[in-house]
């Protein structure tokens, strides 16, 4: 596959990845809904723009890590269809990264509410 494809092709591939994650990953759908709701709440309470930006950045980080987690899980399943300890550790590490980002996002969201309502 050529790396010098037009931008529109690359965008189409990226959107296909999002569609795949949306259709196949319950956690991705859940995080999209929760993230969207969090942004709406931060807007509704009129948090300062910097807190809205931080919230969106953190949510984007969670979504990106969830997409990476999905890719790594599928790759691990492809190269190691049988159960192996190291395959489980790889999946656990990626899940831990997503959890860490989600918890950090929660802290940022709480701080945004604290500033807006405090």
For residue 30, what are the CA distances in angstroms to 21, 48, 102? 11, 26, 12
91 labeled part of a ligand binding site: yes
20 is in an annotated binding site: yes
104 marked as binding residue = no
Enter the tokens of residue 64: 């990106």
Query: Known binder of ligand: residue 73?
Result: yes
Annotated active-site residue 66? The verdict is yes
Q: Could you tell me which of 64, 30, 59, 66 has the C-alpha nearest to residue 43?
A: 59
Do residues 70 and 28 lie in contact, with contact meaning Cβ atoms separated by under 8 Å?
Answer: yes
- Of 38, 42, 62, 66, the catalytic one is 66
Residue 29 known to bind ligand: no
Q: Is 92 annotated as a binding residue?
A: yes
Annotated binding site for substrate: 19-22, 66
Annotated binding site for ATP: 25, 73, 91-92
The catalytic residue positions are 66
Annotated binding site: 19-22, 25, 66, 73, 91-92
């Amino acid at each position: 596959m050529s790396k010098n494809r037009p931008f529109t092709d690359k965008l189409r591939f990226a959107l296909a990845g999002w569609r795949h994650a949306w259709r196949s990953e319950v956690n991705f759908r859940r995080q999209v809904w929760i993230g969207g709701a969090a942004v709406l709440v931060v807007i509704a309470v009129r948090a300062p723009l910097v807190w809205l930006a931080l919230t969106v950045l953190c949510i984007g980080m969670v979504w990106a890590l969830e997409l990476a987690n999905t890719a790594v899980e599928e790759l691990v399943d492809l190269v190691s269809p049988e159960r192996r300890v190291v395959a489980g550790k790889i999946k656990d590490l990626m899940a831990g990264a997503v959890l860490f980002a989600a918890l950090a996002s929660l802290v940022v969201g709480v701080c945004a509410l604290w500033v807006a309502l405090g």
